Amino acid sequence: MAAAAVLPPVRPPPPMDVDIEEDDDQELDKVFAQVDEKSLDQIDSAEPMAILAYYRHLLPWKHLFLWLNRSSSPTVATRNFTHREFAFTLQNEAYLRYQSFSSAEELKREVCRLNPARFEIGPVYTAKPKDRKTVQKTMFKPVSRELVFDIDMTDYDEIRTCCSGKGICKRCWAFIAVAVEVLDATLRQDFGFKHLLWVYSGRRGIHCWISDDEACSLSDEARKSLTGWLDVVKGSANQVKKVDAGPINAHGRTLHPSLRRAIGGEGEASGPLKRAFVSTILEDQDCFKQKSHSDTLLELLPASEADAIGRLRAKWEKEPFRSSTNKWTDIMEQASRAGDKKRNAIWKPCLEDVILQYTYPRIDLEVSKHLNHLLKSPFVIHPGTGRVCVPLDPANIWAFDPTDGCPTVARLLKELQTVDADAGVTGKRGDKVLTNVKGNWERTSLRPFVEIMDRHCQAIMKEQKFIKQEMDSKSVDAW
Ligand SMILES: [Zn+2]
């Protein structure tokens, strides 16, 4: 009822009844006929009719269902799905919260009816969110949801030199790539989580959804303490030193094993953060080339080494645009000049803090702290770019290019039309093309991303099957 009350007055009526079957040829042809081809040619197109065609024919609803349902059964809906909150942002920006559905089909039908610009996923509640007014207020509570993380390029604006604001390119993707590499290892190795889904946000960020039962059942308190552990780069934009990885004694500092693994031991390429510091911070981004940036670097060096800092400052003033790699080499020389004892006790911890400050994942931890936070669903379209929020394989995260490696709604619809044309069919698609297809997405560049989602869902289902078998055998024993 609440949904109907805030429907946009100018929203165009859906052009036809929604059919859940993806391979209804005539319907697909009608949708193509209504899509504004001119707007599709614009690279940033997120034209409403194109989005509707995408919802109807390309978004992998079954995978979304399997992922959220977290069950050994591929068909039976559990509370993880039926009691789950969905929130829709309509084309006119109206925001509908507390939507819930009994099946993937019902969700698809409602999304196609309302044609929202995007939709978000929230927690599983004690009752179906759509029925919340029929239960006592105090009885309606969130009980579980995936543990989520959000990394956004905004938090790298003071470091990156290639783009700013809403911009992102293959070069600044490196900040996200190293963040994923390190956070993925930390969450798996230090926390023991297995079911991590990394999803490109469609513009300049990435989300991580963890579906392990242990993660989903974490309370707000547990989420807060867990995120505190990952809060390494702290402080506002005005704060120069943002990292303090632990107290330093006369012999130096023993780093936490997780941070040590991320930084690495001796040598330039011994850990992901050191590798990224050299290749991205020093070489590619040349982050300390500008005087204001190298002044910041000097402020991060050990204050007790004023003479060395003075020598560095004098040298760099003579050569204002000395490269970051050369500046870092100058710092290492000063550290060596101080002798082994001072180098290990004073310089090394300080330089490791610099590496952490420039490369450790900058996580928007507010997103992770609350069970009832809503986060944009995988596979929706980013309204500003027309790009699909696609799952990514963390093992190939460095290879991804957000500017042309991510399918847009325009590109996918064109691919579908091209496949039709190649099949030599007018008005109807060829039988050959449709043989054994799981969905239209298989015939487009969305396919590898759905396959990542597919493997992720299969792993969750396999584990749930194992848990069910264990429980069944225990109940037989008890009997
Ligand atoms: Zn860039």
- The answer to whether residues 382 and 261 belong to one domain is no
Shared domain for 355 and 404, answered yes or no, is no
Question: Which member of 110, 120, 146, 150 is catalytic?
Answer: 150
348-375 in b/e form (b: 16+ CB < 10 A) is bbbbbbbbbbbbbbbbebebbeebebbb
Indicate the pTM of the whole model.
0.89
Mean pLDDT of 136-147: 95
Per-residue confidence (pLDDT) for residue 195, from 0 to 100: 98
Residue ending a domain, among 330, 359, 388, is 359
Residues 122 and 27 reside in one and the same domain: yes
Ligand 1 centroid distance, CA of 398 (Å): 14
Counts of helices then strands in the chain (DSSP H, E): 21, 9
In a domain, 184, yes or no: no
Q: How far is the CA of 281 from the centre of ligand 1 (A)?
A: 12
Distance (Å) from CA 169 to ligand 1 centroid: 4
Contacts of 165 (CB under 8 A, 6+ apart): 157
Is the model more confident about 452 or about 28? Answer: 452
Top pLDDT among 200 and 246 is at 200
Measured on CA atoms in the order 356, 361, 364, 369, is the torsion positive or negative?
A: negative
Whole-number Å distance, alpha carbon 155 to ligand 1 midpoint, is 13
Q: Is the confidence at residue 102, as pLDDT, over 90?
A: yes
Among 327, 359, 391, give the residue marking a domain's end: 359
Count of structural domains, the chain:
2
Residue 418 falls inside a structural domain: yes
Report pLDDT for 429. Answer: 44
* Residue from 152, 155, 181, 212 carrying the catalytic annotation: 152
pLDDT tens, position by position, 306-354: 999 999 999 999 998 899 999 999 999 999 999 988 888 999 999 999 9
Ligand 1 mean position to 163 CA, how many Å? 4
Over residues 257-266, the pLDDT tens digits come to 999 999 998 7
Instruction: Find the Cα–Cα–Cα–Cα dihedral 278, 282, 288, 289, rounded to 10°.
Output: 160
Contact assessment for residue 241 and residue 299, using Cβ atoms and an 8 Å cutoff: yes
Provide CB contacts within 8 A for 148, sequence distance 6+: 207, 208, 209, 210, 367, 368, 373, 375
- pLDDT at residue 436 tops 50: no
Q: Is a pLDDT exceeding 90 seen at residue 230?
A: yes
Query: In the structure, what pLDDT confidence band is assigned to residue 473 with cuts at 50, 70 and 90?
Result: confident
Examine residue 179 and state whether it is found in any structural domain, yes or no: no
| Burial zone of 237 (CB within 10 Å; 0-12 exposed, 13-18 middle, 19+ buried) | exposed
Residue with tokens 């590798």: 275
Lowest-pLDDT choice from 159-168, 229-238, 363-372, 403-412: 229-238
pLDDT band of 251, cuts 50, 70, 90 = confident
Confidence of residue 441 (pLDDT cuts 50, 70, 90): very high
What is the largest distance, in Å, between two alpha-carbon atoms of the chain?
84
The pLDDT of 444-469, averaged and rounded, is 96
**Range name among 138-142, 221-225, 430-434 with the lowest pLDDT average:** 430-434
- Cβ neighbours around 329 below 10 Å, total: 12
- The verdict on residue 174 lying in a domain is no
SS3 category, 190: helix
DSSP code for 325: H
> Is there a single domain that holds both residue 35 and residue 77?
yes
Contact 386, 409 (CB under 8 A): yes
Q: What is the structure's pLDDT at 253?
A: 85
pLDDT at 249: 78
* Whole-angstrom distance, CA of residue 398 vs CA of residue 407: 17
Determine the pLDDT at residue 118: 95
Contact predicate 42/186, CB 8 Å: no
User: Which residues, at least 6 apart from 274, have a Cβ–Cβ distance to it below 8 Å?
Assistant: 263, 264, 267, 268, 355
Q: In this structure, are 108 and 19 located in the same domain?
A: yes
Confidence band of 146 (pLDDT split at 50, 70, 90): very high
The pLDDT score that the predictor gives to residue 127 is 97
Please give the distance, rounded to the nearest whole angstrom, from the Cα atom of residue 472 to the centre of ligand 1. 53
Calculate Rg over the CA atoms of the chain.
26
Q: Can you give the residue range of the structural domain that contains 449?
A: 2-145+372-470
What CATH number is given to the structural domain containing 401? 3.90.920.10
* CA–CA distance, 29 with 194 (Å, rounded to integer): 42
Rounded to the nearest angstrom, the distance between the alpha carbon of 312 and the centre of ligand 1 is: 29
Catalytic annotation present for 150: yes
160 C-alpha to center of ligand 1: Å?
7
The residue assigned the tokens 């204050």 is 303
Does the structure show a pLDDT above 60 at 437?
Answer: no
Residue 6 and residue 130 in one domain: yes
For residue 222, tell me if it sits in a domain.
Answer: no
What's the token pair of residue 25? 């040829």
Centroid of ligand 1 to alpha carbon of 233 (angstroms): 21
Q: Which residues contact 404 (CB under 8 A, 6 or more apart)?
A: none
At residue 28 the predicted structure's pLDDT band, cuts being 50, 70 and 90, is low
Whether residues 303 and 435 share a domain: the answer is no
Residue 266 is classified by DSSP as S
Q: Is 296 contained in some domain?
A: yes
Helix 48-57, helix 409-422: angle, nearest 10: 60
Average pLDDT over residues 45-62: 90
pLDDT at 478: 63
Specify the higher pLDDT residue, 20 or 102: 102
Of 328, 359, 390, which residue constitutes the final position of a domain? Answer: 359
Task: Give the pairing type, strands 196-200 and 147-152.
Answer: unpaired
- Cβ(351)–Cβ(334) below 8 Å: no
* 137 & 19 share domain: yes
pLDDT at 7: 40
The burial of 249, by beta-carbon neighbours within 10 Å (0-12 exposed, 13-18 middle, 19 or more buried), is given as exposed
Q: For residues 331 and 377, state if they share a domain.
A: no
Residues 337 and 417 occupy one common structural domain: no
Active-site residue among 22, 27, 85, 415? 85
Span from the CA of 204 to the centroid of ligand 1 (angstroms): 10
Same domain, 286 and 413: no
Q: How far apart are CA 98 and CA 102, in angstroms?
A: 13
Asked about 477 being catalytic, the answer comes back as no
Residue 36 designated active-site: no
- Ligand 1 center from residue 293 Cα (angstroms): 17
Q: What tens digit of pLDDT does each residue of 32-44 get?
A: 666 666 656 554 5
- How many residues in the chain? 479
Instruction: Identify the CA nearest to 316 among candidates 302, 296, 336, 343.
Output: 296
Start-to-end CA span in the chain (Å): 47
Q: Provide the mean pLDDT of the chain.
A: 88
Q: Is residue 421 part of a domain?
A: yes
* Same-domain check for residues 387 and 453: yes
pLDDT value at residue 427? 41
Residue 17 is predicted with a pLDDT of: 39
Q: What confidence score (pLDDT) does residue 63 get?
A: 97
Domain contains 282: yes
Mean pLDDT along residues 242-249: 83
